[in-house]
Amino acid sequence: MFDLIAFDADDTLWHNEPLYAKAQDKLADLLASYADSDTVIQRLYETEVKNLGYYGYGIKSFTLSMIETAIKLTNGRIPGVEIEKIIGFAQDMLAHHTQLLEHVEETIGVLAQSYPLMIITKGDLLDQEVKLSRSRIGNYFQHIEIVSNKTEAIYANLLTRHKIEPQRFLMVGNSLKSDILPVIALGGHAVYIPYHVTWAHEIIEPQPGEHNGYYELEHIGQLAGLIEELGRG
Protein backbone atom coordinates (compact mmCIF):
# COMPACT_ATOMS: atom_id res chain seq x y z
CA MET A 1 0.00 0.00 0.00
CA PHE A 2 2.84 2.42 0.80
CA ASP A 3 6.05 2.97 -1.13
CA LEU A 4 7.55 4.86 1.80
CA ILE A 5 6.79 5.30 5.51
CA ALA A 6 8.41 8.30 7.17
CA PHE A 7 8.76 9.23 10.83
CA ASP A 8 9.42 12.36 12.75
CA ALA A 9 12.25 11.72 15.22
CA ASP A 10 12.06 13.82 18.38
CA ASP A 11 9.16 12.79 20.63
CA THR A 12 7.93 10.31 17.99
CA LEU A 13 10.79 7.80 18.04
CA TRP A 14 12.74 9.01 21.06
CA HIS A 15 12.28 11.35 24.00
CA ASN A 16 13.43 14.89 23.34
CA GLU A 17 11.34 17.19 25.53
CA PRO A 18 13.02 16.45 28.91
CA LEU A 19 16.37 17.69 27.60
CA TYR A 20 14.95 21.08 26.70
CA ALA A 21 12.83 21.34 29.85
CA LYS A 22 15.83 20.60 32.08
CA ALA A 23 17.96 23.14 30.24
CA GLN A 24 15.21 25.75 30.62
CA ASP A 25 15.09 25.07 34.36
CA LYS A 26 18.88 25.38 34.60
CA LEU A 27 18.74 28.71 32.77
CA ALA A 28 15.98 29.95 35.07
CA ASP A 29 18.08 29.00 38.13
CA LEU A 30 21.12 30.72 36.64
CA LEU A 31 19.16 33.94 36.06
CA ALA A 32 17.13 33.79 39.28
CA SER A 33 18.68 37.02 40.58
CA TYR A 34 17.55 38.88 37.45
CA ALA A 35 14.04 37.49 36.74
CA ASP A 36 11.56 34.93 38.00
CA SER A 37 11.36 31.51 36.38
CA ASP A 38 8.19 32.18 34.37
CA THR A 39 9.69 35.34 32.90
CA VAL A 40 12.91 33.58 31.90
CA ILE A 41 11.06 30.72 30.19
CA GLN A 42 8.63 33.06 28.41
CA ARG A 43 11.44 35.32 27.17
CA LEU A 44 13.38 32.26 26.02
CA TYR A 45 10.37 31.00 24.07
CA GLU A 46 9.90 34.40 22.42
CA THR A 47 13.58 34.49 21.50
CA GLU A 48 13.48 30.96 20.07
CA VAL A 49 10.51 31.79 17.83
CA LYS A 50 12.15 35.02 16.67
CA ASN A 51 15.36 33.17 15.83
CA LEU A 52 13.81 30.29 13.87
CA GLY A 53 14.35 32.16 10.63
CA TYR A 54 18.03 32.68 11.45
CA TYR A 55 19.11 29.45 13.12
CA GLY A 56 16.38 26.91 12.44
CA TYR A 57 15.67 24.13 14.96
CA GLY A 58 17.81 22.02 17.26
CA ILE A 59 20.05 22.18 20.30
CA LYS A 60 22.57 24.60 18.79
CA SER A 61 19.81 27.03 17.85
CA PHE A 62 18.31 26.61 21.32
CA THR A 63 21.70 27.39 22.89
CA LEU A 64 22.10 30.64 20.95
CA SER A 65 18.60 31.63 22.09
CA MET A 66 19.50 30.83 25.72
CA ILE A 67 22.59 33.02 25.50
CA GLU A 68 20.68 35.87 23.86
CA THR A 69 17.94 35.63 26.49
CA ALA A 70 20.52 35.74 29.29
CA ILE A 71 22.24 38.79 27.81
CA LYS A 72 18.99 40.70 27.38
CA LEU A 73 17.51 39.82 30.78
CA THR A 74 20.73 40.93 32.49
CA ASN A 75 21.10 44.04 30.31
CA GLY A 76 24.43 42.70 29.17
CA ARG A 77 25.81 42.25 32.69
CA ILE A 78 26.01 38.46 32.65
CA PRO A 79 29.65 37.43 33.16
CA GLY A 80 31.53 35.20 30.76
CA VAL A 81 31.73 32.39 33.31
CA GLU A 82 27.91 32.14 33.29
CA ILE A 83 27.80 32.16 29.49
CA GLU A 84 30.20 29.25 29.73
CA LYS A 85 27.71 27.47 32.00
CA ILE A 86 24.99 27.89 29.37
CA ILE A 87 27.30 26.35 26.78
CA GLY A 88 27.77 23.51 29.26
CA PHE A 89 24.00 22.99 29.38
CA ALA A 90 24.07 22.48 25.61
CA GLN A 91 27.01 20.10 25.73
CA ASP A 92 25.14 18.00 28.29
CA MET A 93 22.15 17.87 25.96
CA LEU A 94 24.29 16.83 22.99
CA ALA A 95 26.03 14.11 24.99
CA HIS A 96 22.79 12.63 26.36
CA HIS A 97 22.01 9.06 25.36
CA THR A 98 19.05 8.46 23.06
CA GLN A 99 16.06 7.02 24.92
CA LEU A 100 13.58 5.34 22.61
CA LEU A 101 9.89 5.69 23.30
CA GLU A 102 8.02 2.57 24.32
CA HIS A 103 7.21 0.12 21.48
CA VAL A 104 9.45 1.94 18.97
CA GLU A 105 12.18 -0.67 18.52
CA GLU A 106 9.86 -3.62 17.91
CA THR A 107 7.49 -1.60 15.68
CA ILE A 108 10.25 -0.24 13.47
CA GLY A 109 11.76 -3.73 13.21
CA VAL A 110 8.46 -5.19 12.01
CA LEU A 111 7.71 -2.42 9.49
CA ALA A 112 11.23 -2.50 8.04
CA GLN A 113 10.59 -6.05 6.85
CA SER A 114 7.92 -4.83 4.42
CA TYR A 115 8.44 -1.11 3.78
CA PRO A 116 11.25 1.37 3.05
CA LEU A 117 11.57 3.67 6.07
CA MET A 118 12.69 7.29 6.31
CA ILE A 119 13.22 9.86 9.06
CA ILE A 120 12.09 13.41 8.27
CA THR A 121 12.93 15.80 11.05
CA LYS A 122 13.91 19.36 11.80
CA GLY A 123 17.08 20.33 13.60
CA ASP A 124 20.83 20.07 13.28
CA LEU A 125 22.14 17.36 10.93
CA LEU A 126 24.99 16.20 13.18
CA ASP A 127 22.80 16.14 16.29
CA GLN A 128 20.11 14.04 14.61
CA GLU A 129 22.64 11.67 13.03
CA VAL A 130 24.26 11.10 16.43
CA LYS A 131 20.89 10.45 18.06
CA LEU A 132 20.03 7.94 15.35
CA SER A 133 23.37 6.16 15.66
CA ARG A 134 22.85 5.83 19.42
CA SER A 135 19.26 4.64 19.08
CA ARG A 136 19.79 0.98 18.00
CA ILE A 137 17.30 1.47 15.15
CA GLY A 138 19.45 3.37 12.65
CA ASN A 139 19.99 0.36 10.38
CA TYR A 140 16.27 0.09 9.70
CA PHE A 141 16.11 3.44 7.87
CA GLN A 142 17.05 3.83 4.22
CA HIS A 143 16.96 7.63 4.32
CA ILE A 144 17.26 10.49 6.81
CA GLU A 145 16.10 13.96 5.77
CA ILE A 146 16.92 16.99 7.92
CA VAL A 147 14.75 19.91 6.81
CA SER A 148 14.62 23.57 7.81
CA ASN A 149 10.87 23.37 8.26
CA LYS A 150 8.01 21.04 7.44
CA THR A 151 5.67 22.71 5.00
CA GLU A 152 3.55 21.43 2.15
CA ALA A 153 6.13 22.71 -0.35
CA ILE A 154 9.03 21.01 1.42
CA TYR A 155 7.19 17.69 1.59
CA ALA A 156 6.27 18.00 -2.09
CA ASN A 157 9.90 18.62 -3.04
CA LEU A 158 11.06 15.71 -0.92
CA LEU A 159 8.55 13.30 -2.47
CA THR A 160 9.52 14.46 -5.95
CA ARG A 161 13.20 13.83 -5.27
CA HIS A 162 12.46 10.33 -4.00
CA LYS A 163 9.96 9.67 -6.81
CA ILE A 164 7.11 8.87 -4.41
CA GLU A 165 3.48 9.65 -5.22
CA PRO A 166 1.74 11.38 -2.28
CA GLN A 167 -1.00 8.74 -2.11
CA ARG A 168 1.71 6.08 -1.62
CA PHE A 169 3.33 7.98 1.27
CA LEU A 170 2.67 7.70 5.00
CA MET A 171 4.01 10.18 7.56
CA VAL A 172 4.02 9.42 11.29
CA GLY A 173 4.57 12.16 13.86
CA ASN A 174 3.51 14.01 16.98
CA SER A 175 2.82 17.47 15.54
CA LEU A 176 -0.36 18.25 13.63
CA LYS A 177 1.23 21.44 12.32
CA SER A 178 4.46 19.92 11.03
CA ASP A 179 3.92 16.20 10.50
CA ILE A 180 0.26 15.72 9.65
CA LEU A 181 -1.65 18.53 7.97
CA PRO A 182 0.91 19.41 5.26
CA VAL A 183 1.01 15.75 4.17
CA ILE A 184 -2.79 15.46 4.12
CA ALA A 185 -2.96 18.63 2.03
CA LEU A 186 -0.74 16.95 -0.57
CA GLY A 187 -3.01 13.90 -0.74
CA GLY A 188 -0.76 11.70 1.38
CA HIS A 189 -1.53 9.66 4.49
CA ALA A 190 -0.56 10.54 8.05
CA VAL A 191 -0.69 9.05 11.54
CA TYR A 192 -0.81 11.39 14.50
CA ILE A 193 0.60 10.07 17.78
CA PRO A 194 0.31 12.84 20.40
CA TYR A 195 3.17 13.31 22.84
CA HIS A 196 2.38 14.36 26.41
CA VAL A 197 4.28 17.64 25.96
CA THR A 198 4.37 19.64 22.72
CA TRP A 199 6.36 22.82 22.14
CA ALA A 200 3.94 25.76 22.09
CA HIS A 201 5.09 26.79 18.60
CA GLU A 202 3.86 23.43 17.24
CA ILE A 203 0.39 23.55 18.82
CA ILE A 204 -2.61 24.28 16.62
CA GLU A 205 -6.30 23.74 17.17
CA PRO A 206 -8.00 22.63 13.92
CA GLN A 207 -11.65 23.55 13.61
CA PRO A 208 -13.95 20.52 13.93
CA GLY A 209 -14.40 18.92 10.52
CA GLU A 210 -11.88 21.24 8.85
CA HIS A 211 -9.01 18.77 8.75
CA ASN A 212 -9.52 15.05 8.40
CA GLY A 213 -8.00 12.12 6.62
CA TYR A 214 -5.37 11.27 9.19
CA TYR A 215 -5.35 8.55 11.81
CA GLU A 216 -4.70 9.08 15.51
CA LEU A 217 -3.10 6.44 17.75
CA GLU A 218 -2.35 6.33 21.45
CA HIS A 219 1.15 4.95 20.92
CA ILE A 220 3.43 3.73 18.13
CA GLY A 221 2.90 0.10 19.14
CA GLN A 222 -0.49 0.30 17.40
CA LEU A 223 1.00 1.41 14.08
CA ALA A 224 1.78 -1.96 12.49
CA GLY A 225 -1.77 -3.15 13.17
CA LEU A 226 -3.24 -0.01 11.63
CA ILE A 227 -1.11 -0.38 8.48
CA GLU A 228 -2.08 -4.03 8.16
CA GLU A 229 -5.75 -3.07 8.49
CA LEU A 230 -5.39 -0.34 5.85
CA GLY A 231 -3.77 -2.86 3.51
CA ARG A 232 -6.72 -5.21 3.88
CA GLY A 233 -9.11 -2.33 3.24
In which band, very low, low, confident or very high, does the pLDDT at 129 lie, cut at 50, 70 and 90?
confident
Tell me how many domains the chain contains. Answer: 2
Domain C-terminal end among 41, 62, 95: 95
CATH number at residue 204: 3.40.50.1000
Domain C-terminal end among 46, 79, 95: 95
For 31-60, write each residue's pLDDT tens digit.
Answer: 999 999 999 999 999 999 999 889 888 899
> Going by DSSP bridges, is the β-strand pair 117-122/4-7 parallel, antiparallel, or unpaired?
parallel
Residues 226 and 128 in one domain: yes
For 76-121, write each residue's pLDDT tens digit.
Answer: 999 999 999 999 999 999 888 889 999 999 999 999 999 999 999 9
Which segment of 33-37, 129-133, 189-193 scores lowest on mean pLDDT? 129-133
Domain C-terminal end among 66, 95, 124: 95
pLDDT tops 60 at residue 158: yes
Name the residue range of residue 30's domain: 17-95
Phi, psi of 192 (to 5 degrees): -100, 120
pLDDT tops 60 at residue 206: no
Return the higher-pLDDT residue of 84 and 16: 84
Residues 68 and 138 in one domain: no
Please give the pLDDT value at position 203: 46
Residues 73 and 180 in one domain: no
Please give the pLDDT value at position 148: 84
Please give the pLDDT value at position 210: 40
Residues 192 and 222 in one domain: yes
In which band, very low, low, confident or very high, does the pLDDT at 19 lie, cut at 50, 70 and 90?
confident
Residues 198 and 216 in one domain: yes
Residues 65 and 105 in one domain: no
Please give the pLDDT value at position 205: 56
Residues 87 and 120 in one domain: no
Residues 55 and 8 in one domain: no
Please give the pLDDT value at position 122: 87
Residues 57 and 170 in one domain: no
